[in-house]
Structure 1
Amino acid sequence: MIEAVKIWNEPNNKSHWDPLLDPEWDLFAEMTRLAGQAIRAENPELTRVLGGMSPIDPFFLQRLEGKGALDHVDAVAVHGFPLDWNLWPIDAWPEKVAEIRAVTDKPVWVTEVGVSSFGSEEVQAWGVKKTADLLIGHAPRIHWYSLYDLPHTWEATTRHKEAEGSSYYRHFHMGLLREDGSPKPAVEAYAPYAEQMGLCQWFHFEDHRLDDAVAWFRRLGVRHVRTGLSWADRYREGALDWFDRQMEALAEFETTVTFCFTPEHRGIEPHHTSPPQAAEEFAEFCAEMTARYAPRRAAAAQGRIVSKELA
């Protein structure tokens, strides 16, 4: 069951939205307004979540509110990695959530939080428990990032690349599982919190890890999952077949789906972080995915009735 959709991912992070092309976030605000309207038209009951802020910045949220973007979302989200990239201590998590609550009346979700095992797998396991103790009860949704380490043959979704030094390589060690699927100590630390702290796992196009990931979600007792459907991937051959397989595999979980990534040929510049040439096209993608995977309940129920009658 899809319980929510997220409009973009980390819009105030240049690894996901190019600030040189949209320095005041006017284009992003327009895109968010149109996407929120399109999603609402397809399913008025579906929760729309603003792409998670990274860094956590109340002034950025106020900027978007001034442009009318928050009128078309139902919740806002934050991302934080204090032991790896953020310049604040892990104990500040409740304070960071409170900073956002102070400037909005919308629920504040924590849709990515994590600790890498780059320096120590034992530190990561400690970070799981510490994060759970700090955040459970302070946010309606919490998603640990992530289940799997990123394969070393892939590329991390960041504009900085190796110029980050060791910070870049931390991207590859965020999982509870190693690249080969073997468990780290963090798995045992996570298991007691699985019902209250969900998991975020991005699946690449035709990702070979999908079925094993679902098996781990079940084994751990995970209820809430966050993943993504890529607008850029929509233009690949066989895209809908892959999307169908992915969403069918996750159907038993309460899933938050993120819509993001600009197709190169539809961006102002040919990059996934570029604002689109026409914001309406992203809204159309959001509408299509919502209608396909999260139709309004009345329509879905009618479809089941018709199917039974035909059978």
Structure 2
Amino acid sequence: MLFVGDDWAQDHHDVEVMDAAGRRLSKARLPEGVAGIERLHAMIGAELGEDSRAEVVIGIETDRGPWVQALIAAGYTVYAVNPLQASRYRERLAVSDAKSDGADAHMLADMVRTDSHQLRPVSGDTADAEAVKVVTRTHKTLIWERTRTTQRLRHALLDYFPAALLAFDDLDAPDTLELLAKAPDPTAAAKLTTTQIAAALKRARRRGIPDKVAKIQAVLRAKHLGQPTAVTAAYAVSVRALIAMLVTLNEQVNFLHEQVEDFFGRHPNAEIIRSQPGLGAMLSARVLAEFGDDPHRYASAKARKNYAGTSPITRASGKKKVVTVNRPGSN
């Protein structure tokens, strides 16, 4: 068998080919892309001779991308090494803080040579499952970005226009963004008419519009502490930019929500996953995306819990033993 360590970067790969005895057979820095993959195949082929490529085991610190897919398609056994595992393994081999790409390639090759039984090979998920993973992760990322942008908007309003925080409950709601875009400063907001406020609420399909209009207008027209005119104008310009970002994020989150449902609905396991209690369409898609659909990926229910990070954690030393519950989302 041959063991290959692949330390990847954005535009190149440092690779080392090692035999079963731990001897370095060859090493090289390869460019990213087709040319690099072809050179890697040539390096491995030169060492294997007439043997099968199935005898090649590769360690690399990622499980995604065209390069990894090309390695799997070539018939190699690919282990996606967690960077934290790689760091710990590096500490086993040296006491200094020395680090280089070539040394990391050597370490990865040696790691899959001696510890492959402790590692998980890249799963054989279908293309449909990978597609669901792409759209669900992008959808979740945009939701996180919307939350961060909303917090920036909140802090900005708190600094110069705190009345807006009292008038509007949901800063990322369409009616709030529309009214703040029209009147991003206290003076302009105090001039908003009941017709303008009611129209924005109506377009957002709010209920109890008359009461909400009266409340918003009363808060915006009351006296509040503020900033000097020039500072207020600067904040208003900044807030308009944040509002534009939130409007776009809302549009794209809604668009990707539809795409997640569409991609997930095409998967043959969609109905089975969706049938589990407590799983709606979006959460079902995320479950499929993160667990994959390779039937051999998990040996047992416990292995699935370990992967999800929900298994109890035991710390025992001498007479002391502590078992903690690792709740989902706590990390």
Bucket of the pairwise TM-score, normalised by the shorter protein = under 0.3
When the two structures are superposed, what TM-score results if normalisation uses the length of structure 1? 0.24
Higher relative contact order (CA 8 A, sep 6+): 1
Higher helix share: 2
When the two structures are superposed, what TM-score results if normalisation uses the length of structure 2? 0.23
